[in-house]
Amino acid sequence: MSLLMQSLIAATVMFLVWLDYEWVHIWTYRPIVLGPLMGLCLGNLQIGIEVGATVELMFLATVWVGSAVPPNEILSTGIATALAVTTGDATVAIATALPIAVLGSALLTFRNTFMNTFAMQRFEKAAQNADVKGMKLWGIVVPVGLYHLILFVIPTFIAVYYGADVCVKILEMIPAEVLAAINCGGRMIGAVGLALLLKSISFDKAWPFFFLGFIFSAYLGVGNLGITMLAVVVVGIIYMYKEKTASQD
């Protein structure tokens, strides 16, 4: 199999995996699945299993916390596995997994912060005009198809065809100011999401609990897990109080 064909196959697998990540969710995007899948499609299942299992351990505990975007394991696993198969050396590919994951995180944050906002504005305009074709274009084709093609599929092809060094060089070429701006914009998503959540609930009755959580977090340094446990206790107290009041009536 030629290098060009391997690059095309790797890019195709990456596109299908991103479709699963956005729509179906049968977990093909997890490293433990994506690695063997990529290796099987490229003709070396053993290396795919080796790389997939190793990268899965690297990202096993990484989760989305608020608006913080962790290193992207999908792009990392896909490219690392493809490089391992094409070079025949899993060690080199695994060593480049983390830099590629950082690059994937920056691309994903750029998509969420800027590109999706652009598409959503066009989608809302089409919805106001009852333009069904425009809604499909800006709601499905562009964000799911075109954006992923530009940000993840084409970089996969380039990385496999030209080697892992190109990914590291691209990451080093991005100015620190640009990465800082993308990171800042990504953090603002959490504030916007919280504002929309508060707008959707009866805040006139919930505001004491909101400020109670804020005080514990901001001034007492209680983390998210502690705030969650506090909320469970408060809900339990309210429930027992209502049960007692109902029994007395």
Which DSSP symbol is given to 27?
S
- Identify whether the C-beta of residue 80 lies closer than 8 Å to the C-beta of residue 159: no
Q: Please tell me the distance from the alpha carbon of residue 145 to that of residue 143, in angstroms, as a whole number.
A: 6
Q: Any residues with CB less than 8 A from the CB of 30 and at least 6 apart, and which?
A: 56, 73
- CA dist 10 → 38, 57, 75 (Å): 7, 22, 11
Give the CA distances from residue 109 to residues 29, 105, 140, 184, in Å, rounded to whole numbers and listed in that order: 18, 6, 19, 10
Residue 238 · residue 246 · CB < 8 Å: no
Residue 68 is classified by DSSP as: B
Name the residue among 187, 3, 197, 173 with its Cα closest to residue 85. 3
For every one of its 249 residues, what pLDDT tens digit does the chain have, with 9 covering 90 and above?
788 898 999 999 999 998 898 888 898 999 899 999 999 999 899 999 988 888 887 777 565 555 556 778 888 889 888 888 887 877 766 777 777 777 788 888 888 878 888 998 999 999 999 999 999 999 889 988 899 899 889 988 988 888 766 666 665 676 777 666 655 655 565 565 566 666 666 667 777 888 888 888 888 888 878 888 888 998 898 888 888 887 776
Helix/strand/coil percentages in the chain, nearest 5: 85, 0, 15
Closest CA to 88 of 56, 119, 22, 42: 42
Question: Which residues is 65 bridged to in the sheet?
Answer: 68
- The position carrying tokens 């060089």 is 169
In which residue are the tokens 């195709």 written? Answer: 12
